[in-house]
Every structure is written in C-alpha cells, then in structure tokens.
Structure 1
C-alpha cells in the first residue's frame, strides 16, 4: 500500500525526542533509562501507523514498547497516536531492522512482534523477508534467552514459509493459529492491515515461535 508523502513528517518526528529516539545507537544498553523504568521491552518491527503498538501499550502499561518503521510519512501517524493519547510506555525508532544489533545489547529485548510483514514473494527477494534466517539471527541476538517472536499475517504463502524457517532455525512453535479471528484467542490487538484484510474475509494466521537455549 502506497502512502502519501508528508514533507513535514521528518521535522515533526524531531520535535519529540522523548518519544522518537533520534540516535538509537546511543541508547544501546540504556533503553531502560530512556523509558525511566526496568519493565520488559517488546519491539514491533514494521510498526506502520502504530495501531498495534499503541494498542498494546495501552493494554499493558507494565511493558515498554518500541515501534520500528523506516518511513517518516508512515511512522509519524504512530507518533500522533502516542501524543494524542498520552501513552508513556511506547517509543519509536525510525530505522531499518538490519541495524537492530547496533541499537540493542544482546538480551536487551524480551519479545519481537512481526505483523503483516512484506511477503517479498519472489524467490530472489527471499532474504528480505523478516522471517528469513538472516533476520532470525538478528532477533535471536537482541532477545533474552528463550525469547519469542509473535508473527501475524494474512499471507498463507508467507506463513507457511515462516513456519518452515522457524523450524529449520531450530525454534519451537509454541502456538499456531490457522484462523485467528475464528479461534478462542483472547486479547488480540489488530493492526490497520488486519482490520482491512479481515473485513474482506481474509483469514489471519498467527504463531508464537521461541528460540531454544544454546546451552
């Protein structure tokens, strides 16, 4: 989905350094100082307009959330939600997921969320998929031991690929939902994409995959 370019977005993101990490590399190992507490840290990679991460922040005030998105014109909508609703436990990083190890110490993050990630359907683009082993190695590094990835998508092909990728990497699939909205799962916070696709009858897939201990 193409987003309208907002030339003012970059400047607005710079106006809120207490919400938008202007230089996240300087916060490596110090994110609890930025949040002002020692609560667990959860990251959503590809946070879009922020409906999920802000919803989670409101539902779980005892958890620190970070929404990561690369496009100013998109993530500025997340900033607006945070400011408007005064959500103190949600922060933003405007960066690429490939740089996560530059921003977080090993074991500094408690959970990673991947919601409706770009499926990159062509085989030549496989390494761009966020559930490819390249990114799994990055997530494993920043996550605590036995950390989890919670993954949602409407794309059956990407879901099947991801289940295989998680298993091949040696992860444990703790839960798998093949039709989330027609299941007994409670507490689901929908993304903008999820609302759109589910309203059109698309099935939503979800899994919770856990890294194994290296010991």
Structure 2
C-alpha cells in the first residue's frame, strides 16, 4: 500500500526550523562548529525519533543529527525533541543518497542504522543503506575508528550487511543474532524494535569499525 502523506506536515515542519538545518551542504567541513566541538553521531532514517531523542537526552556531551526524508514522520521526531527541550540535536530533511554532499572526510564519529528498508528483491539491493555503495561513503565520512551501529529484524538483511561490511574493510564486532535473549539488555529501542520484540522476532545487531 502506498503511504499517504499527512496534509500540512511540510508547512508545520518548516515552522519548527530552529530544529532543522535546511541547507546542510553549507556546513560541509565545518560541522564541529555546528556541534560546538562535541563529537557527532548521526542516525540515518531517524523515523519518529524515539531512538535518537532518548540518546540525546542520555548523552548531553554528544551532538546528534537525525536524517529523514519523510516530512510527516520527521515532524514527530522534531516535536519529541522540543518536548524534551534538547539542545544537542538537529535534523536534516534530506535524502541519504546524497550524504557525501553534506559531510566531509572524517567529520562523524558514529552512524546509527536501525531497521532500514530491506529492499528484499535482489535487483533493488543497491538501495539498502548497508550496501557497499553507501558503505564507501560512510567510510570516508567517519573519522578514524568511527563506527556504524546496525540493527534489524531481518536475518537475510543482517547476513547481507555483515558480508558487505567485511568486504569493504570494516572490522565487525558486537554481533548478536538475538539481542534480547537475555532480559536485561542495556540498549535504547526504536518504535519498530518494540513492536518486533512484542511479536517475538529476533533482533540482530552488530557494530562495524572504520579502518583508515
């Protein structure tokens, strides 16, 4: 079913432009100034913002950037940040395909990719956010020993991501094939994650370290 856009979401989002960076290309190479010299963590496909807002609230010494292309969903994330009165988070209403036009070499410490679209058909594999075409871009943007933190409920997508990351020269660690097999796991959940856990699905996780 095709997703129906929420009427008025664009106008409403633009009213909250103090939380948005509408021309991120202008900051390429100078994000440390935007972040106040804090380390920078970026969530790719931030969705409704539960994950990134929880992180920003918990880690005030880190500057967070959420990237999302769907305005009606991004609007919900932005509202959460306003409700929490967070000053260490901004949002980009932007296409991740052009991420290398936003960030310069070595500017980012960590990327989060949570429950991205699996694009299950083989002919669409290059659209996956963990395809090597994207991993090459992330590798350049990440600083030395920077990391990608990845979670999914899809076994095939997880296997694909693991192989892609190894092929592209990342060091893969913290691999879990069932993250919540133990009850007390210290991790922040996304909205999708909570839903999948309730359905009894396995949650797959890994982190991949950049090697420059």
TM range (shorter): over 0.9
**SS of the residue aligned with 1:110?**
strand
**SS of the residue aligned with 1:201?**
coil
Aligned equivalent of 1:195:
194
What is the CA–CA distance in structure 2 between the aligned matches of 1:70 and 1:64, rounded to whole Å? 20
Q: Deviations over 1:98-149 (max 9, x none)?
A: 1111111111111000000101110000100111100001111111012110
Q: Pick closer, same or farther for the CA change 1:3–1:76 going to 2, 3 Å.
A: farther
Aligned equivalent of 1:8:
8
Query: What is the root-mean-square deviation of aligned Cα atoms in Å?
Result: 1.6
**SS of the residue aligned with 2:133?**
helix
- Any conservation in 2 of the 1:40–1:63 contact (CA below 8 Å)? yes
Aligned equivalent of 1:147:
146
Aligned length: 212
What is the CA–CA distance in structure 2 between the aligned matches of 1:142 and 1:164, rounded to whole Å? 21
Deviates more, 1:114-123 or 1:7-16: 7-16
- Any conservation in 1 of the 2:25–2:102 contact (CA below 8 Å)? yes
- Any conservation in 2 of the 1:3–1:74 contact (CA below 8 Å)? no
TM-score by length of 1: 0.93
Deviates more, 1:25-34 or 1:108-117: 25-34
- Any conservation in 2 of the 1:98–1:138 contact (CA below 8 Å)? no
Aligned equivalent of 2:84:
85
Q: Deviations over 1:162-215 (max 9, x none)?
A: 1111111121112101111124874311001001111110110100111222xx
- Any conservation in 1 of the 2:148–2:209 contact (CA below 8 Å)? yes
Shift of residue 14 of structure 1?
A: 1.6
Shift of residue 2 of structure 1?
A: 6.4
Shift of residue 54 of structure 1?
A: 0.4
What is the CA–CA distance in structure 2 between the aligned matches of 1:80 and 1:210, rounded to whole Å? 32
Aligned equivalent of 2:204:
205
Q: Deviations over 1:8-30 (max 9, x none)?
A: 22122222232111111112122
Task: Map residues 1-215 of structure 1 onto 2, 5 A cutoff.
Answer: 4-35=4-35, 37-183=36-182, 186-213=185-212
Unpaired segments ≥5 residues, structure 2: none
What is the CA–CA distance in structure 2 between the aligned matches of 1:125 and 1:78, rounded to whole Å? 28
Unpaired segments ≥5 residues, structure 1: none
**SS of the residue aligned with 2:180?**
helix
Shift of residue 3 of structure 1?
A: 5.2
